[in-house]
Amino acid sequence: MSLVAVVAVVGGCAHVGTDIDRGSRLEQLRPLAEDIRRAVIARDLDALLRLARRDIRSDPTLVDPLRRDLREYLFVTVRDVITRARDLRVRIEDIGRDDQGVRWARLVFFDAATVPESAVARPDFLCDHDLKDAVAWTFQDRGTWEGIGYPFDAFTDIHCSPD
């Protein structure tokens, strides 16, 4: 069974309806989701980049040429989904572990006023709704949670294969 939580972000506070066990590593994604929401609203690229993959965080040559595109993607497209939501929720999805034992999880930000939780839970949801009704960011647990790439999986097709 997959561990899933839905975090309602209301007035800057995270209220949780969850089946994630207290003390689990996945529970640490709750406050992280709120930090991410605040950084997107504040247009704080540096705060979001601190959650990116380690090599991206430490090597400016991986960010500087893409900074303009990242800003547009994050603070136009992603910010639009987050700020226009009437009932912003964050679904924490346990993706499982890879063959090296590293746990993967995804934060899916969506408007519960327009998209039911049952729809967000469908495996193909992001293929149809990513960047319209929802935005997502995939993380790995490497002692701390870090993005698998750029913020909100920019420049990837991880949520839905192009095939």
> Would you call 103 exposed, middle or buried from its count of C-beta atoms within 10 A (0-12, 13-18, 19+)?
middle
For residue 159, tell me if it sits in a domain.
Answer: no
Residue 43 predicted with pLDDT over 90: yes
For residue 161, tell me if it sits in a domain.
Answer: no
For residue 134, tell me if it sits in a domain.
Answer: yes
pTM higher than 0.85 for the full model?
no
For residue 163, tell me if it sits in a domain.
Answer: no
Query: For the chain, what percentages of helix, strand and coil (3-state, to nearest 5) are there?
Result: 40, 25, 35
59-88 confidence digits (pLDDT tens): 999 999 999 999 999 999 999 999 999 999
C-beta of residue 93 within 8 angstroms of C-beta of residue 117: no
For residue 141, tell me if it sits in a domain.
Answer: yes
| Local structure of 144: helix, strand or coil | coil
For residue 97, tell me if it sits in a domain.
Answer: yes
For residue 160, tell me if it sits in a domain.
Answer: no
Total tally of structural domains belonging to the chain? 1
Which domain does 45 fall in, by range? 4-153
